[in-house]
Amino acid sequence: MPERIISEQALRELLSKQKLYEGLLHSQHGVRQPIVESLVHRQHVAEIANRLDGMPSQAIAGLLEALPIDEAHSLWTCLPAARENEVLWELSDALRETLVGSREPRFAESRINAFDVVDGRVRQVCIGGRHDLEGIQPAWLDLLGATDPERRYVGEHFGVTLPDPGQTTGLEISSRFQIDGMGSLRLWSNFLLYRDGVSKSIPVVFIVHQGILFTVRNEDLPVFRLQGQRARSQTGSAADSIDLILDLYGADVEYSADVLESIYQRLGEIGRQVLSEAMSDEDAATVLAGIAEEEGLNGRIRGNILDTQRALFFLIRSRRLLPGQLDDAKQILRDIDSLNSHTAFLFDKINFLMDATVGFININQNKQVSRLTIFSVVIMPLNMVAGIGGMSEFSMMTAGIPWPSAYAGLAAAMGLMGWGTYLMLRRLGTGRKPKGR
């Protein structure tokens, strides 16, 4: 039996038990009866709320529709306040008015924005609830972080299916740009989000249906915010939904170019640090971490602009672009080509800095190995002399000399030999100066 059916049956049983217990308590009389009723009621509410917590909003709405009105009221009072709005989206108007009166489900702040195009200028239409969608025919409807019920209601209102952009990232590349059976244009594209040193690729769904552009995304993007401000302030910037798509793609390319410029500046700072006279292993580790971050950001930008390039090629092949729009798309493609060459240059610069940093690490290691080599060369003849001093032949050769004097002389000879060896190695390490200097 499906888990959803089990949860609904458990809720029905809890509601039946609640009615039974309340009836038994009402039939009894005592000083502590109100206290007992309150405790039992709170226990039942907690159990029902726990069951509701794991149920989707559609299942809760279906259960409310199937229950008698009194039980539906009881179940509604147990629903957490944070979930009331999403369940209201799923209820019929009659049941919603019975449970909450004139209250309507509301869009969360900045969840949905509608834009009209008037005389070539984009004008925002305030959308707060379902009644605000009645009678409007926007050119652009932007859904930011909308819940499943909100997307479903908006889609049903305009006769289009609005998917969750977070569930489209696993699509095949060939399936991300298509024209469906209703003639609607559907594009799945990744947009760059770079904030506080952290970069992400945010999936965005574009749908053009009956002249309306629907954009569905789960995170705020500076490209959309800046493009909305630009479109509202510039006359003639957009005439239809295709113009809006091209403007958004163009703004994303400009935003990527700005981030690439910041990468170049940071790599310049890293380069000055790498090419300094000395670099410790700790400094090298910090530099490598910084280079790796810039390489990841550069790669993410390259992947996003290639994704935009594929989307523009699809728009051109779809033959839906007017001559002016076709020129705009080709201009964006030329900008993308220049960015591709710039990302390739940055990859070369990153590889150079990476090799230089690794070279400094090798030099530091070679210096440490050189010190150990000098130490071992200095100690080697001393070990040999010390071995001779411990032999019985040395005692025989120094039989006429007091042993303190003999061993003191041996220690002095070892010291002189070690010092001489060290000076010889220093002279060999310094080398001869070239002639003419």
* Residue bearing the bigger pLDDT, 23 or 106: 106
CB atoms within 10 A of CB 8: 19
Structure tokens at 3: 């888990």
Instruction: Name the residue range of residue 70's domain.
Output: 3-100
Are residues 19 and 73 both part of a single domain? yes
Are residues 130 and 249 both part of a single domain? yes
Query: How far is residue 44's CA from residue 23's CA, in Å, rounded to a whole number?
Result: 14
Query: How far is residue 311's CA from residue 186's CA, in Å, rounded to a whole number?
Result: 10
Asked whether residue 241 is domain-assigned, the answer is yes
Asked whether the predicted pLDDT for residue 427 surpasses 80, the reply is: no
* Residue bearing the bigger pLDDT, 63 or 251: 251
Are residues 229 and 299 both part of a single domain? yes
Sheet strands side by side (includes 198-209): 121-125, 112-118, 140-144, 212-217, 198-209, 185-195, 177-179
Asked whether residue 93 is domain-assigned, the answer is yes
Asked whether residue 33 is domain-assigned, the answer is yes
Are residues 377 and 346 both part of a single domain? no
Q: DSSP strand E in 150-263: where?
A: 177-179, 185-195, 198-209, 212-217
Among 343, 362, 381, identify where a domain stops.
362
Among 59, 77, 100, identify where a domain stops.
100
Asked whether residue 436 is domain-assigned, the answer is no
Number of domains in the chain: 3
Average pLDDT, the chain: 77
Q: Are the beta carbons of 68 and 15 closer than 8 angstroms? A: no
Q: How far is CA 114 from each of CA 88, 120, 139, 154, 318, rounded to the nearest angstrom? A: 22, 16, 8, 12, 26
Where b means 16+ CB within 10 Å and e means fewer, 414-426 reads: beeebeebeeeee
- pLDDT of res. 36: 45
Are residues 333 and 421 both part of a single domain? no
Are residues 378 and 326 both part of a single domain? no
Are residues 291 and 407 both part of a single domain? no
Q: Are the beta carbons of 76 and 64 closer than 8 angstroms? A: yes
Asked whether residue 87 is domain-assigned, the answer is yes
Task: Let me know the angle formed at the C-alpha of 348 by 342 and 352, rounded to the nearest 5 degrees.
Answer: 145
pTM comes to 0.69
Mean pLDDT of 250-272: 89
Structure tokens at 159: 């006769």
Structure tokens at 79: 């629903």
- pLDDT of res. 356: 83
SS3 217: strand
Q: What is the DSSP string of 83-145?
A: HHHHHHTTS-HHHHHHHHTT---BPPTTSEEEEEEETTEEEEE---BGGGGTT---SEEEEES
Are residues 208 and 340 both part of a single domain? yes
Are residues 268 and 202 both part of a single domain? yes
Give me the percent of the chain exceeding a pLDDT of 90.
Answer: 13
Are residues 87 and 230 both part of a single domain? no
Among 345, 362, 379, identify where a domain stops.
362
SS3 211: coil
- Output the domain CATH number for residue 223: 3.30.460.20
Asked whether residue 106 is domain-assigned, the answer is no
Across 86-90, 235-239, 423-427, least confident range:
235-239
Are residues 248 and 121 both part of a single domain? yes
Q: What is the dihedral of CA 404, 410, 415, 419, to 10 degrees?
A: 160
**pLDDT tens per residue across span 122-140:** 777 778 777 888 878 888 8
What contacts 35, CB < 8 A, 6 or more positions away? none
Contacts by 222-231, CB closer than 8 A, 24 or more apart: 222/193, 222/255, 223/191, 223/192, 223/248, 223/251, 223/252, 223/255, 224/142, 224/248, 226/251, 226/255, 227/251, 228/113, 228/115, 228/122, 228/124, 231/115, 231/121, 231/122
Are residues 357 and 372 both part of a single domain? no
Q: Name residue 118's beta-bridge partners.
A: 121
**pLDDT tens per residue across span 278-324:** 777 777 888 888 888 888 899 999 989 998 999 999 999 988 888 99
Query: How far is residue 74's CA from residue 15's CA, in Å, rounded to a whole number?
Result: 8
Q: What is the DSSP string of 260-291?
A: HHHHHHHHHHHHHHHTSS---HHHHHHHHHHH
Write the burial class of residue 41 (CB in 10 Å: 0-12 exposed, 13-18 middle, 19+ buried).
middle
* Residue bearing the bigger pLDDT, 421 or 264: 264
